[in-house]
Amino acid sequence: MTFVFAAAPVIPNFGGGSARFACERANRLLCPNWVSRNWSTVLWPALRQHVELTLIAVAIGFVLSTALALSAYRRHWLERPVLIVTAILYTIPSLALFELLEPLPGLGLSRTTAEVALVSYTLLILFRNTLTGLREVPAEVRDAARGMGMSDRQSLLRVELPLAMPAIIAGLRIATVTVISLATVASLIDNEGLGAPILSAISNEVFKTELIVAGGMAVLLALMADGLLVLLQRRLTPWARVRAV
């Protein structure tokens, strides 16, 4: 016997015919009651997971790419291979990368898989920006540091890295926003983050309120993160403010 829906079933059959769920049943664009009822159980946890996913990915990506950039800064031959590999990773569409990682041993449908993919998208941006920032430190400045008796290490930590800071933070900014964006797709793999309510709303007969609210939260989160990093950039590099448009 095959099971056939008699009629398009109403979006989760909200409490039969009660007037309380009239908005949900009509699938209006925005049902405030639905939002307030599901904020603490669906939306807020999704937002928190999304922030966690992003912070972990950006932190790991930052450590990895800074190490790579510092190595390539001293050993020029490293630059090209790292760029090629990270560029290929960056080019692979997110949907494909998540699926390609899934069958690998130890990954599967888990947060680890999501994080591995998200980290791999940050590498090219962070590596390139950090390296470019370091390379653009004027030679005279480096010579001056040397002339003051600084060792390579001191010059790097006290002179070159601070001067490269605007480029490094610009990279962090792009990487963070990129991860926030891709983490919505990661929900396909680990069923968390703001992509999860979006996907469930789609499979739930296109429940509009959830689509708009979860989608809107993802957009707002990215815009806010971008804004915060701009502020951080101004804080950390006050000397660059004069140049800013």
Partner 1 sequence: MNNFLEAFRFIGRNGQVPGAPPLPTLVHLTLETLKIAGIAMAIALVIAIPLGVWLGHIHRGSFVAINVGNIWRALPSLAVLAIGVAFLGIGLGNVLLALSVLAIPPMITNAYVAIDGVDQDLVDAARGMGMSGWEVLRKVELPVRIPLIFAGIRTSALFVVSTTTISALTGYSGSLGDIINNETSYHLSGVLGAAICIAALALIVEFALAGVQRMLTPRGLKLAGGEDVSSALVPIVGEST
| Interacting residues with partner 1 (CB under 8 A) | 29, 83-84, 87-88, 90-97, 99-100, 103, 124-125, 128-129, 167, 170-171, 173-174, 177-178, 180-185, 188, 194-195, 198-199, 201-202, 206, 208-209, 211-212, 214-216, 218-219, 222-223, 225-226, 230, 233, 244-245
Closer CB to partner 1, 96 or 236, in the complex: 96
Closer CB to partner 1, 145 or 193, in the complex: 193
> 120: which 2 tokens?
């791999």
Q: What are phi and psi of 28, to 5 degrees?
A: -70, 170
| Shortest distance in whole angstroms from residue 46 CB to partner 1 | 12
| Shortest distance in whole angstroms from residue 13 CB to partner 1 | 20
DSSP state of 194: T
Closer CB to partner 1, 67 or 88, in the complex: 88
> Coil, helix or strand for 212?
helix
- Rounded-to-integer distance, Cα 165 and Cα 130, Å: 8
Closer CB to partner 1, 70 or 199, in the complex: 199
Closer CB to partner 1, 156 or 211, in the complex: 211
| Shortest distance in whole angstroms from residue 75 CB to partner 1 | 18
| Shortest distance in whole angstroms from residue 172 CB to partner 1 | 11
- Cβ within 8 Å of residue 210, ≥6 positions away: 34, 38, 42, 197, 198, 200, 201, 204
| Shortest distance in whole angstroms from residue 143 CB to partner 1 | 26
- Rounded-to-integer distance, Cα 52 and Cα 221, Å: 12
Closer CB to partner 1, 163 or 198, in the complex: 198
| Shortest distance in whole angstroms from residue 17 CB to partner 1 | 25
Q: In terms of residues, how long is the chain?
A: 245
Amino acid making up residue 78: L
204-206-209 Cα angle (round to 5): 100
Side-chain half-sphere exposure of 116, counting CA atoms within 13 A: 18
Q: What are phi and psi of 184, to 5 degrees?
A: -65, -35
- Rounded-to-integer distance, Cα 16 and Cα 206, Å: 19
- Rounded-to-integer distance, Cα 76 and Cα 83, Å: 12
| Shortest distance in whole angstroms from residue 47 CB to partner 1 | 13
Closer CB to partner 1, 9 or 216, in the complex: 216
